[in-house]
Each structure stands twice: as structure tokens, then as C-alpha cells.
Amino acid sequence: MLKETRYANGIAQGCVKGGVVKYMVQHKNCIFSGVTSSREFTSTVNAAEYVIQAIAEAEGLDPREIRFFDLCTRLGYPSQEASHEFMQLTVQYEGAQPHVIGWEPTPCSPQTLQLFGVVEH
């Protein structure tokens, strides 16, 4: 079952939480996907640290114990040619502060795509 939370972008005055992600946490893995167009708010790739913090806060989890995956779709990236791109984030921490240093393309299961409503063409 997908949950939803808002994330900040570090740019808006007072770090307004204007972006929305749907996500699921299962077996120490968290998959999220932006549902706010990157034309309306900072993309999940560019605000990945804030997405991680928002999900960890919403779930009451220590993000250092979770692996994070970003499912980029045309909803979040309207100009994207493919139906999706699935990436595992490489995250380093300075205390509790996450710093995403890499995005590794990773295969995504058909079940995950279906859960997030991604239709492949």
C-alpha cells in the first residue's frame, strides 16, 4: 500500500513543503515516486535529501537503516521519453543529515511498476 508525504526543497522561504511523493517502505527498502511535476516544484532527484528526511520523519525511521530508490516517471518528469527510470540512491550521512552522492539505474519489478501506476508502452 502506498503512502504519501510532502517534501521541502531547501530553496523556498521557510523550506515550504510543496512537493508530494508516494512511497512504500518494505524490508528496509523505500521506493518513492514524485507526483508533483518538476515544472511545479523541485524534482525528487534535485531534492532527494529532503525526500529522504520527509519519509523518515513520517515513518519514524532512521534513514541510515533504509535503502532508497527513486521511481522517476513522466508524471514527475513530463519530458522524459521512457515510461520510467528506477534508481537506487547512494547516500552518505553526516550525522543524521543525508547527502545523495549517486543514482544507480536498477531493474524495477513489474509489481512495483503496477503498484505505482506506471504503464509501459
Q: Which residue has the cell 515510461?
A: 83
Over residues 53-91, the pLDDT tens digits come to 999 999 999 999 999 999 988 665 555 565 788 999 999
21 closest CA partner among 12, 41, 79: 41
pTM: 0.86
Report strand pairing: 97-105 vs 84-94: antiparallel
SS3 annotation, 47-97: CHHHHHHHHHHHHCCCHHHCEEEEEEECCCCCCCCCCEEEEEEEEEEECCE
pLDDT digits (tens, 9 = 90+) for 20-48: 899 999 999 999 998 876 666 667 878 89
* Measured distance CA(78)–CA(12) in Å, rounded: 22
